[in-house]
Amino acid sequence: MKHYSPEHKSVVLAKLLPPYNMTVSLLAQQEGFLTQPCIIGVIRLDWRGNRC
């Protein structure tokens, strides 16, 4: 499993918020992630980046 830096994670999560409002599937495709683990990761994170 790949590990990403906190900076990269925050940049990717920011793309899900306004003004970008990208879908998880589009973001996963652009970043080279698998969609299902990406959705699970978004659900596990609140918007401050803390684990639920």
Q: Is the pTM of this model over 0.85?
A: no
Concatenate the DSSP letters of all residues of the chain into one string.
-----HHHHHHHHHTTSTTT---HHHHHHHHT--HHHHHHHHHHB-TTS-B-
Residue 49 lies in a domain: no
- How many domains does one find in the chain? 1
Q: How confident is the model at residue 1 (pLDDT cuts 50, 70, 90)?
A: low
Res 52: pLDDT = 44
- Tens of pLDDT, residues 3-52: 778 888 888 888 888 899 888 888 888 888 777 676 666 666 655 555 54
Between residues 2 and 27, which one has the greater pLDDT? 27
Residue 50 lies in a domain: no
Residue 1 lies in a domain: no
Supply the range of the domain harboring residue 33.
Answer: 6-44
Residue 52 lies in a domain: no
Residue 11 lies in a domain: yes
Residue 24 lies in a domain: yes
Residues 6+ apart with CB under 8 A from 33: 27
